[in-house]
Structure 1
Amino acid sequence: MGVPEGRRRRLIFTYGTLKKGFANHRLMEDLITSGDAVFIGSYRTADKYPLVCGPYRVPFLLNLPGRAGSHHVWGEAYEVSDSAVSRMDELEGITRGHYERLPIRLCSAGGGDAAVVEAEAYFAHRSYAEEMWRRNGERGYAVYSEKEAKGYVKRKDRPQHLTFLDQIDLFLSEPPQPVRLV
């Protein structure tokens, strides 16, 4: 069962808070309920990309393929309608320069000789991606899990007098916090 006929279909790769069990998955649940999205399965990127955390432990996939310290990133794929893409674009701040929706190649989580499929993903906007990579010590994650999400702050609980781009600028201007081993 897919998105109803007569609606354009797209494959969207989610790697962060839109995944099952994370803060923004409610949007995906709403889209599934309305018939505008269908969960396809677990996938990983065919190419290695940096996946990092920014302010408030928000995840960012950086369109810097093949960088040392990057990984095949794991996430979920959804078949979605144009209406769903509009709602996802709004959440991801496409028109405000937060993220960019760009093509990406995926492999199913089954591994082996899995076929590569074309999809789209929300990448950090190019205006700050390189700086975000440096701020994260040029090291990324293979998956945004509960461990990486620890300390995530929901949008409603962040300072309301600052835009998200202001919050990103502040994050990028601060020195990295030392990693504490517990």
Structure 2
Amino acid sequence: MGAAPGDAPAEHPTSPPAAAAKRTLVFTYGTLKRGFSNHALLQDLFLTGDASFAGAAATASPLPLVCGPYRVPFLLNLPGSAGCHRVKGELYSVTARGLARLDELEGVSRGHYERLPVDVVLAADEGEAAVDGAVAYYAHRGYAAEMWARSGRRGHAEYSPAVAAGYVRRVDRPQGQTFLEQIRVFVSSQS
């Protein structure tokens, strides 16, 4: 049976569309999650087809999740640290264009965060399902250990509304310093 005029050609069931082949799974644990201030970026990416929700997720092993200046969340690439938890978050599938927008938000080129691999599991009715190839935005290695020390080496299991209380949006922060300067002041101050 042939396709009707105007119908899109059928795709071969074993070959994914080109856009699907170039997607990256991104684990979000902070302000990009639903209900938080930067989720609007993901909503914009949904509208353009550059992101889709993959499910509720958690890190496969404990990692430190701390709050820095202005209650900004930071996942620290310090596996095996005492005082940390399996961090709860959300997993999104994003295109290369979507990933570039997330990199910009997270200040990857400015040394704010680093996009690195992360082992995560998706919550499923039957338990948990391991996910291959996910990435997360970690605090940059240039200040991660200092951030952990400043937090008293105690992390959070989830960036929840209670943990985020006191979060200050970028537009409401002092404009006389870069974010890295604000981080340096924060980690050098007493808790």
- Secondary structure of 2:18 counterpart: coil
Q: Which residue of 2 is the match for residue 180 of structure 1?
A: none
Moved over 3 A (4+): 110-113
Give the equivalent residue in structure 1 for 2:187.
172
1:91 corresponding residue in structure 2: 105
Q: State the shift of 1:110 in Å.
A: 3.3
Q: 2:144 aligns with which of 129, 140, 143?
A: 129
Aligned to 1:15: 29
User: Matches of 2:122 and 2:129 in 1, distance apart?
Assistant: 7
C-alpha deviation, 1:108, in angstroms: 1.3
Instruction: Give the TM-score taking structure 1 as reference length.
Output: 0.92
Instruction: Decide whether aligned partners of structure 1 residues 108 and 67 sit closer, same or farther in structure 2, where only a CA change above 3 A counts.
Output: same
CA distance in 2, matches of 1:113, 1:21: 25
Question: Which of 64, 69, 72 is 1:50 aligned to?
Answer: 64
How high is the TM-score relative to the length of structure 2?
0.88
Instruction: Work out the CA distance in 1 between the residues paired with 2:51 and 2:126.
Output: 27
* Per-residue deviation, 1:112: 6.3
For the aligned residues, what is the CA RMSD? 1.3
Q: Any gaps of 5 or more consecutive residues in structure 1?
A: 177-182
Asked if 1:138 is matched to 2:153, the reply is yes
Residues 29-178 of structure 1: matches in 2 within 5 Å? 29-110=43-124, 113-118=127-132, 119-176=134-191
Which has the larger Rg? 2
Distance 1:125 1:80 in 2: 22
**How many residues align structurally?**
173
Among all aligned residue pairs of Structure 1 and Structure 2, give the percentage whose two residues are the same amino acid: 58
CA distance in 2, matches of 1:28, 1:153: 19
